[in-house]
Structure 1
Amino acid sequence: MKNINPTKTLAWKQLRHHFIDIKNIHMKSFFNVDKNRFCNYSIFFEDKIIIDFSKNRINNETLRLLFKLAEECFLSDAINSMFFGYKINKTENRSVLHTALRNQSNKYNIVDNINITLLIKKELKKLEYFSNSVINGDWKGYTGKTISDVVNIGIGGSYLGPYMVTESLKPYKNHLNIHYISNIDGTDIQEVLKKIDLETTIFLIASKSFSTLETISNANYLKNWCILQTKCAGYLSKHFFALCENVTAALNFGICSKNIFKFWEWVGGRYSLWSASGLSIILSIGFKNFESLLYGSYMMDQHFLYQKISHNIPIILALISIWYTNFFKTETEAIFPYDAYMQAFPEYLQQSYMESNGKSIDRNNSLVTWKTSPIIWGQSGTNGQHSFFQLLHQGTTFIPCDFIIPAISHNPVDDHHEKLLSNFLAQTQSLAFGNNININEKIILKNICNNDYMHHKYCPGNKPSNSIMLKKITPYSLGALISLYEHKIFVQGIILNIYSFDQWGVELGKLVANNIFNDFFIKNININYDSSTLGLINIYKKWNNF
């Protein structure tokens, strides 16, 4: 994998000049010039998803130069390096093979001379057998009752991915109730304990290292509390399970070996929902639906791996994002799923983007002089329209957006879905074209100042968005959509010359938190804290009688 400063490429320099030529052109001009712009700037993924990127401040020359940038950064070589299992996560000396978890071909993946495809298939069989036994009622709790509730204990990728998928695929949910405990705030535990019966609940401890502070603290509390309440030393063997890479730590915790579901060091936490870390997904929707989720993501993998760059959806969306962050100098990108089931999707993408590409050191070990990850945020539509869309239309902050909607609703109620779709389309159109050409209100820019108040209604437009329409939200199409964004993030990391698969900033916070925690129990702190931190520690200790 080449380590190329993108700003030193010829394409980047040409993009700077091109930006000067294009920055003041209104988007409506692009549509006026190209009557087939929608057809020319949209791509179908099979017959399941259409991605319309026509409402962007780009033209054919923009795309040509962005494609050239990708070529000069040897993107295709980097893609092959990831899929072939090369150790592209250099700072941790690891391969990056979440794609292998959903590989549906007969090709084997080899890592360190080990056929990991066989390991994956073996673990999937174990997951299938166990999940079927729970769903069918064959797995019994310590008093012989069937299982009704599942509690997933995990944080970060061990929570956000599984939670997002189980929420998005609620129409496929079976009778099991799925709960999530992520925060170390005791409220998280107590609110879940109010809803469950220990006789009919199983606990999944999801932590790759099996040492994550929040997860293991919560797991230890629950283990001790459950044994105290049930007065049954054998409770763990029927009710506690580990989803991890560190088998030894799980065994030391007290999990019996048959209750450990494994994934591997080459699976990043935020990419782990495809592995044993997704057991809560499997228990929620059943193994067959989980297989469909894997298959959808695999088909997007194949599109990403083999489709030419000019029709490659993740690459195009990644390049457009780079165009905005580094030339228009945008700071954020917004994600708006117009489907209540997908309300957790923006939060999931926050981690995927910002933990992956929120970096300031490049692969040459130098400080970057360009922008890396945008700030990702969003909310489900149409709620956002009555909250912050005012800023999108008339504010001074320039924010590219992704709008996501299914064409077919799982819950058709009267004409509600048509109204939802109308709002979806109205927002992207209004953001792009504004209202200064609205014939009904006859608001024309040169005349608006004739009325003291009319000009306050002026919306300039020229605000970009991508429209992603799924035929229907199914396990297959959701898998493809998640994979699309995974690869978009990867492409941006490659071109921006950063390592996307570590998170050393997160590790720093963990280290400092451990030090502070220990100092709560020391009378005279010797560590030289800054006055703010020391002052707050002392006030906390005073108020809690430490």
Structure 2
Amino acid sequence: MADFWPVESEKVSLAKLFESDPSRLGAFTLGAAGIYFDWSKTHLTEDLVRQFSALADRQGLRAARDALFGGRVVNTSEGRAAEHTAERGEGHPDSVARARTFHNRMRALLDAVEAGALGDIRHVLHIGIGGSALGPDLLIDALGRDADRYDVAVVSNVDGAALEEATRDFDPHATLLLIASKTFTTTETMLNAASALSWMAEAGVEDPYGRVVALTASPEKAMEWGVDETRILPFSESVGGRYSLWSSIGFPIALALGWDAFESLLEGAAEMDRHFRLAEPALNAPLLAAFADLYYTQLRGCETRAVFAYDERLRLLPSYLQQLEMESNGKRVTPAGEPLAWPTAPITWGGVGTDAQHAVFQLLHQGTRLVPLEFVAVAEAGDNQDEAHHRALLTNCFAQGAALMTGKDSDDPQRAYPGDRPSSTILLERLDPATLGALIAFYEHRTFANAVLLGINPFDQFGVELGKQIARSIDEQGTDDFDPSTRALMARAFD
């Protein structure tokens, strides 16, 4: 293990790193796809970047990246490619052509909905879970607040209260139901979908199934369920769930924002794809981010990473990243099944600034845990309020990074700030479909780069299955074979 990871010759404080290197800011900042990245307030050094770049070479990052973009098998445990980049036009030509065909089908159905072919549609109820919900929810919440096209609600939780809240102000006679499931067998999604159909039928909708659109990689399952083939939007089996918002799973995004916005989303992501594929390590945003991630997990023993969005429109970003990063890289063995000798993904968590400053920043400034922070902000305001609001928002964001780094001495230990707490900053020029597409693609590639350097497969997620299997067995077989605690809980809840 000691021979695997880079070696830090000495631990130098962030303040001293700036003092000793006047060119540090230029070396650890870069711009790509309308986004400015700043890692200068992390403990990365040029020597560490060289060592991590050498590690990337030893781990075969270039070959893995070529395989990803070439449509070759990178999900070895399931024998699949991972072709979300093809949805953005960056991949194997055959896969790009197939994605374009599926997008054209999306566009045709969008045009039909807008022309009234499915009736007077004013509301869209999107039902999915995990990647089938988190991506659309993030994009629509971030970019659709001023849109006047359709009211879109995303439901993922199987808790009936979630479905009731989403449909409370919806007219069932003017609602389009989208069912998003890669396999079209996801238990929570199909239960919610059945209940939504019942809601429409009970309200007197003459043909509820005529208002259903299926977003799936298993079109035959959707047809068996009762969805007409003309209202099934397929996507490729090689597009993973948490990477699927670029595919037919993004249909609610296109409905909410319009087709031009959806295309801009894809174009922004494609620009980041090209940056990741072509830029050298020291100038490559996803790679530099991965180097910083691995520095803190492997060399400093950090177990968490905090992300704070200093923009209300990005309030769902931390939740989105939790699934992307922890479901992808929360692994403990290599693709060959061998145990790893080092920690893998840290716990991703976070919140929204400035709210978080009055909730969790006490621990970040004066607690005993070292937590690398990431600030995400937007230079251009997204509201019509006095400009003092946005200035105060950004001032607080930048001030927190400065305060974490510099700290403050005091004769009173309770008022002392140790400082030397690392942070990175991601500053979007503006929040629009292109820059948000680029931001999400950046996080995808960062996750992939981390996985290659860690020596794991980021594209399977077997860890989510065990709990589902046990839940099914409780329904099918009862609780006799379970531990006393589980039996007692079930008895209290259901008897």
The TM-score bracket by the shorter chain reads over 0.9
Distance 1:517 1:399 in 2: 41
Correspondent of 1:138 among 116, 122, 129: 116
Aligned-residue offset at 1:231 = 5.6
Alignment partner, residue 14 of structure 2: 27
Correspondent of 1:226 among 196, 200, 204: 200
Aligned-residue offset at 1:175 = 2.6
Please tell me whether the aligned partners of residues 87 and 96 of structure 1 are also in contact (alpha carbons under 8 angstroms): yes
Alignment partner, residue 187 of structure 2: 213
Q: Which ranges of structure 2 fall in alignment gaps of 5 or more residues? A: none
Aligned-residue offset at 1:63 = 1.3
Q: Equivalent residue of 2:124, what SS?
A: strand
Distance 1:319 1:170 in 2: 34
Correspondent of 1:89 among 55, 68, 75: 75
Alignment partner, residue 45 of structure 2: 59
Whether 1:496 and 2:470 are equivalent positions in the alignment is no
Distance 1:529 1:418 in 2: 56
Correspondent of 1:396 among 368, 383, 386: 368
Alignment partner, residue 529 of structure 1: 482
Alignment partner, residue 63 of structure 2: 77
Q: Equivalent residue of 1:472, what SS?
A: coil
Please tell me whether the aligned partners of residues 177 and 284 of structure 1 are also in contact (alpha carbons under 8 angstroms): yes
Please tell me whether the aligned partners of residues 161 and 348 of structure 1 are also in contact (alpha carbons under 8 angstroms): yes
Distance 1:11 1:537 in 2: 47
Distance 1:108 1:97 in 2: 9
Aligned AA (1:139)? A
Q: Equivalent residue of 2:379, what SS?
A: strand
Aligned-residue offset at 1:137 = 4.7
Q: Equivalent residue of 2:352, what SS?
A: coil
Q: Equivalent residue of 2:442, what SS?
A: helix
Deviations 1:479-509 (A, max 9, x none): 0000000000001111111110011010112
Distance 1:502 1:465 in 2: 30
Distance 1:265 1:290 in 2: 21
Deviations 1:315-357 (A, max 9, x none): 1101110110111010100111110010000000000000000
Distance 2:103 2:434 in 1: 18
Whether 1:176 and 2:173 are equivalent positions in the alignment is no
Distance 2:358 2:42 in 1: 24
Distance 1:224 1:389 in 2: 46
Q: Which ranges of structure 1 fall in alignment gaps of 5 or more residues? A: 1-6, 110-114, 437-442, 449-453
Aligned AA (1:400)? P
Aligned-residue offset at 1:412 = 4.3
Distance 2:160 2:266 in 1: 34
Alignment partner, residue 3 of structure 1: none
Alignment partner, residue 165 of structure 1: 139
Please tell me whether the aligned partners of residues 27 and 462 of structure 1 are also in contact (alpha carbons under 8 angstroms): yes
Correspondent of 2:26 among 29, 32, 39: 39
Whether 1:117 and 2:96 are equivalent positions in the alignment is yes
Mean alpha-carbon deviation: is it higher for 194-203 or for 162-171? 162-171
Q: Equivalent residue of 1:35, what SS?
A: coil
Please tell me whether the aligned partners of residues 404 and 467 of structure 1 are also in contact (alpha carbons under 8 angstroms): yes
Aligned-residue offset at 1:11 = 5.3
Aligned-residue offset at 1:57 = 1.3
Q: Equivalent residue of 2:429, what SS?
A: strand
Aligned AA (1:138)? G
Please tell me whether the aligned partners of residues 82 and 238 of structure 2 are also in contact (alpha carbons under 8 angstroms): yes
Distance 1:207 1:22 in 2: 50
Whether 1:188 and 2:162 are equivalent positions in the alignment is yes
Aligned AA (1:429)? A
Q: Equivalent residue of 1:51, what SS?
A: strand
Aligned AA (1:361)? V
Aligned-residue offset at 1:139 = 3.2
Alignment partner, residue 451 of structure 1: none
Q: Equivalent residue of 1:473, what SS?
A: coil
Aligned-residue offset at 1:171 = 5.0
Please tell me whether the aligned partners of residues 77 and 335 of structure 2 are also in contact (alpha carbons under 8 angstroms): no
Structure number with greater Rg is 1
Q: Equivalent residue of 1:336, what SS?
A: strand
Please tell me whether the aligned partners of residues 172 and 199 of structure 2 are also in contact (alpha carbons under 8 angstroms): no
Distance 1:387 1:193 in 2: 32
Please tell me whether the aligned partners of residues 57 and 462 of structure 1 are also in contact (alpha carbons under 8 angstroms): no
Alignment partner, residue 472 of structure 1: 430
Distance 2:240 2:458 in 1: 10
Alignment partner, residue 416 of structure 1: 389
Q: Equivalent residue of 2:117, what SS?
A: coil
The alignment's TM-score, normalised by the length of structure 2, stands at 0.97
Aligned-residue offset at 1:117 = 2.5
Pairing of 1:311-460 with structure 2 (within 5 A) = 311-414=283-386, 415-436=388-409, 443=410, 448=411, 454-460=412-418
Please tell me whether the aligned partners of residues 139 and 147 of structure 1 are also in contact (alpha carbons under 8 angstroms): no
Correspondent of 2:177 among 203, 227, 252: 203
Deviations 1:82-132 (A, max 9, x none): 11011110111111010000016xx753xxxxx332321122112112223
